[in-house]
Structures are given as structure tokens and as C-alpha cells.
Amino acid sequence: MYYTNPFYRCSDDDYETPEIIDLITEALRDERSDRAKYGMMMDMTDDPEVQRQIRFAYDDEGKHYKLFQNLYEELTGSTIDMPMPEPKKYPTLLDAIQTSINGELAAVELYRKIKAMLPTQVMRDTLYEIITDEQEHATRFTYLYAMLK
Ligand SMILES: [Fe+2]
Ligand SMILES: [Fe+2]
């Protein structure tokens, strides 16, 4: 018996990238830029409690990046790696925190969509774990926003 992976990349020139692969590529890019942003945000404060809260998200985005890399590889048979981008600058830490709340909630929306398109329960469980992490980040940034404003 042969198992044909429906997402496996072939060399056909007319091959169109399935939507789920595009969305996972978008997720990889977002995880990279969020990690770069949170690294920069930790440098914008000397308050250890603020740094600690941001570090939870910083560490998780590194973990998520690897999980999305694994998913990409399982679905396509190809590896993918993205450079860490230069983070966008914000006038104040509070501005960066506020945009991070929205960014985390947008990630939840995107990842729900990806979860619904994944072919196996194990893959969907991975997305569930990532989604709950992003919800936790949104809560931590909301706490920081209330604390610093
Ligand atoms: Fe993430
Ligand atoms: Fe996050």
C-alpha cells in the first residue's frame, strides 16, 4: 500500500501552492517577527517583572517557529528557514505592548484557520497548543498594558 501525501511538492511547473502551505509560511514569518519584536521590547525596559512577562512570549515564539517548521516539512517534504527580521521601532514600550495585544489576537485567528485545514489529529493538537499559548500572550500583554499606562 502506498500513502500519497496530498501536500507533497512535485516538480510540475504548474504546481500551485496549496493555501495551507501559504498560511504556514505566513505563520513562520509572523513567529520570526514577533520574536524579534519581543527581544527588542525587553531591551526597552529595566523592570524585571516587565521583562519576565515579555520573555514568556519571546521563548514561546521560538518554540512555535520550530513547530511550524516541522509541520511544513511533514506536509511538503521540504525544509524551510527564515531569517530573523530587523524589528520595527516603536516610540514607547507602551505602544509596542498595545500593538502586541492585537498581533497576538490576529495570530489566534490565523492559527484557527490553519488548524481547521490540517489533515491529522496530531497536527491539529499541535496547533491547539500554539493557539492557547498565543491567548496567554495576549493576556500577559493586556496585564502589562494596564500596569504601565
Ligand atoms: Fe507564536
Ligand atoms: Fe505569541
**Which ligand lies nearest the alpha carbon of 57?**
2
Local confidence band at 72 (pLDDT 50, 70, 90 cut-offs): very high
Amino acid at 99: T
Q: Tell me the C-alpha distance between 97 and 92, whole Å.
A: 9
Q: Which residues contact 104 (CB under 8 A, 6 or more apart)?
A: 57, 134, 135, 137, 138, 141
Q: Regarding the domain delimited by 24-148, which CATH topology (the fold level of the hierarchy) does it fall under?
A: Ferritin (1.20.1260)
| CA 60 to centroid of ligand 1, rounded, Å | 6
Query: pTM above the 0.85 mark?
Result: yes
Average pLDDT of 94-123?
A: 98
Q: How far is the CA of 103 from the centre of ligand 1 (A)?
A: 10
Confidence of residue 4 (pLDDT cuts 50, 70, 90): low
> How far apart are the CA of 94 and the centre of ligand 2, in A?
17
Rounded Cα gap, residues 76 and 5, in angstroms = 8
